[in-house]
């Protein structure tokens, strides 16, 4: 993430129940200011301005040119909430595979909660935004290490991939549907589990992912990683 910090003060609506907004302001100033602005007079820069981000549809800030991936996720219905913002901060590509945001993710839940508390202070009615339970819940797809460690068989993945390739082109061409050819295996696995856990909003992909077990997702990941 990133941005120029206009002010460290907050709008009405304290956010202590999410995290430490003062710490969040410091994190924003140090980690976000290169690309984003927030606060009075905030404008789009490398990234969109972040005022009123809670409840906003992804890819919807007027005058900002988003990546195709972010625009697609917004068209699919991705809306910025405590849950989806937390997932994006934890691992941007888990939620939006082709995001242009040059940020590896914020691993510490308390740091994400603090930054979200600060961002929420610049939303229209922060006091009306419901809190998560528990307050610092991890919302990156909840994957056990052994799930990420699974190594699939590309040949069996090829067998499973026929249904995927009714929409996604095996040659990597993008015909209105994003390419998944050549994806790193871990990125593929994280994305599919994000659909399975309904962090990513596309209903068809949620349905498709729900049919797959952990091993089948690993097989598909191995197959698509081999394609060039």
**Is residue 215 in a domain?**
yes
Rounded to 10 deg, the angle between the 109-120 and 21-31 helix axes is 100
For the domain that residue 179 is a member of, what is the CATH number? 1.10.760.10
- The answer to whether residues 18 and 117 belong to one domain is yes
**Is residue 139 in a domain?**
no
- The answer to whether residues 216 and 161 belong to one domain is yes
DSSP letters for 79-138 = B--HHHHHHHHH-HHHH-TT----------HHHHHHHHHHHHTTSS-GGGSPPPSSTT--
Domain limit, last residue, from 76, 102, 128:
128
What predicted TM-score, i.e. pTM, was given to this entire model? 0.67
**Is residue 14 in a domain?**
yes
- For the chain, list residues with pLDDT below 70: 1-17, 124-141, 175-176
Q: Return the pLDDT at 11.
A: 36
- The answer to whether residues 152 and 121 belong to one domain is no
Count of H-run helices and E-run strands, the chain: 10, 2
**Is residue 135 in a domain?**
no
Q: Return the pLDDT at 174.
A: 72
What pLDDT, in 10s, does the model give residues 84-143? 999 999 989 888 988 888 888 899 999 999 999 999 888 865 554 554 443 333 345 677
- The answer to whether residues 11 and 116 belong to one domain is yes
- The answer to whether residues 36 and 103 belong to one domain is yes
- The answer to whether residues 188 and 214 belong to one domain is yes
Domain count, the chain: 2
The gap from C-alpha 128 to its chain's centroid, in whole angstroms, comes to 23
- The answer to whether residues 11 and 124 belong to one domain is yes
Which residues constitute the domain of residue 162?
145-226
- The answer to whether residues 11 and 96 belong to one domain is yes
* Alpha-carbon gap, residue 104 to 121, rounded angstroms: 24
**Is residue 214 in a domain?**
yes
**Is residue 63 in a domain?**
yes
- The answer to whether residues 70 and 177 belong to one domain is no
- The answer to whether residues 162 and 97 belong to one domain is no
**Is residue 22 in a domain?**
yes
Degrees, nearest 5: CA angle 88-196-57: 40
**Is residue 194 in a domain?**
yes
- The answer to whether residues 83 and 157 belong to one domain is no
4 phi, psi to nearest 5 deg: -85, 125
Domain limit, last residue, from 128, 154, 174:
128
- The answer to whether residues 107 and 68 belong to one domain is yes
Domain limit, last residue, from 128, 157, 184:
128
């Amino acid at each position: 993430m990133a941005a120029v910090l206009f002010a460290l003060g907050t709008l009405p609506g304290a956010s202590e129940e999410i995290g430490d907004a003062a710490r969040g302001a410091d994190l924003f100033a140090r980690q976000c200011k290169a690309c984003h602005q927030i606060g009075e007079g905030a404008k789009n820069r490398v990234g969109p301005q972040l005022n009123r981000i809670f409840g906003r549809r992804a890819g919807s800030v007027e005058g900002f040119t988003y990546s195709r991936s972010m625009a697609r996720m917004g068209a699919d219905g991705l809306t910025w909430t405590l849950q989806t913002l937390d997932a994006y901060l934890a691992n941007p590509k888990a939620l939006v595979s082709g995001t242009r945001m040059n940020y590896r993710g914020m691993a510490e839940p308390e740091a994400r909660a603090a930054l979200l508390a600060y961002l929420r202070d610049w939303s229209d009615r922060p006091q009306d935004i419901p809190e998560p339970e528990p307050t610092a819940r991890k919302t990156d797809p909840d994957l056990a290490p052994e799930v990420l460690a699974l190594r699939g068989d590309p040949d069996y993945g090829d067998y499973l991939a026929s249904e995927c390739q009714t929409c996604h082109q095996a040659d990597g061409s993008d015909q209105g549907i994003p390419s998944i050819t050549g994806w790193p295996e871990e990125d593929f696995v994280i994305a599919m589990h994000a659909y399975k856990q309904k962090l990513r909003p596309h209903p068809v992909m949620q349905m498709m992912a729900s049919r797959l077990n952990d091993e089948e997702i690993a097989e598909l990941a191995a197959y698509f990683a081999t394609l060039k």
